[in-house]
Every structure is written in structure tokens, then in C-alpha cells.
Amino acid sequence: MNSKRACACFALVIAIVTAVPVLAADKAVNLSIFTPISLAKPEDSVTAFRFNLIYGKNASVKMIDLGMINQTTTMSKGLQWGFVNFTEGAQSGIQLGAINYDKGSTNGLQWAGVNYAEQAGGLQLAFVNFARRTSGVQIGAINIIKEGGMFPVMIIANWGKK
């Protein structure tokens, strides 16, 4: 009887020890009305799909990010589509919105009414484009590149110097 109890306790300990990393793993899906009312915590990463009815915040989102206001604190990779998209780290892929704001780097397509990126690569397409530094192309009514652009301010198109 004692050996059965010991085996059961051992199996329980093994199950708990193997389950702990799974609990800390990235979340595949996050549905949010507004943060913190969501399936995943703001510090969690989402690996497949996030939908925010009003506002959503996560560490990172890979694949598809849809909502009114989308915020990532480290990375966005894939499609980010919302009224306002705010990325504090790296963004790669396609970013569609009324306002796209990237405090870090962006690489891919930014398409909005207003685009802002600290370090832009790829294509910025908007009424107003701003990049602190760029290795890409801006197309819009007003295009601003603070450092390393062909022109500091230009209408229609602007691009980074090689």
C-alpha cells in the first residue's frame, strides 16, 4: 500500500514539474475587451491570433493582431491591423491603421494616415510619414526623415541614403 502511495506521489510531482513550463509558455490566442479584461495577461506573448475589441496590450504578437488599439511592448510580427497600432520594440510584417507608431524599428509595410518609426525599413505609405532613421522608402503627402534621408522633408516620396 505504501509503495502505491509513493508511486502516486512521485507521478503527481513529475506531472507538476512538467506542467510548470507549459503554464509560463506563450499564449496561442488572446481575446480582449480592453486590458486587463482579456484571456492573456499584458506581460504574456501571443503566438497566433489576438483580437481586441477596444484595447489590447501584450509583450509580443506573432501572426495576426486585430483591434481598435493594439499595443506590443517588445515585438509585433505578421499582420497588425487596427485604428491605432503602437509597438514599443521591433515590428516586422504589415501594419495597417489610421495611426501606426513604432518606438523601435519597423521592417515591412506601414500603411496609415500617419506613420511614425524610430528606425524604418521597407515602405511607409501614408498622408504623413516620419522616421528618425530609414533604410526604406516613404510615399505620401509629407515625408520626413530626421537622420540619413535623401531629404529632411519631401512631398510625394523620400528615401534613405545608402
* SS3 letters across the chain: CHHHHHHHHHHHHHHHHHHHHHHHCCEEEEEEEECCEECCCCCCEEEEEEEEEEEEEEEEEEEEEEEEEEEEEEEEEEEEEEEEEEECCEEEEEEECCEEEEEEEEEEEEEEEEEEEEEEEEEEEEEEEEEEEECCEEEEEEEEEEECECCCEEEEEEEECC
Residue-level pLDDT at 6? 67
Decide if 78 contacts 66 (C-beta within 8 A).
Answer: no
Whole-number pLDDT of residue 26: 85
* The overall pTM is greater than 0.75: yes
What are the residues whose beta carbons fall under 8 Å from the beta carbon of 22, sequence distance 6 or more?
none
pLDDT value for 141: 97
Report the pLDDT value the prediction gives residue 22, as an integer from 0 to 100.
46
Residue 135: the pLDDT is: 93
Return the pLDDT at 8.
Answer: 65
Residue with cell 511592448: 73
The C-alpha cell that represents 4 in the structure block: 502505491
Whose cell is 494616415? That residue is 113
**pLDDT at residue 158, rounded to an integer:** 96
- In order along the chain (162 residues), what is the average pLDDT of each group of 10 residues? 67 49 70 92 94 95 96 95 96 97 96 97 97 96 95 95 79
- pLDDT at residue 70, as a whole number: 96
Can you give the pLDDT at residue 20?
44
Per-residue pLDDT, 39: 93
pLDDT at residue number 19: 45
Give the per-residue pLDDT at 161. 86
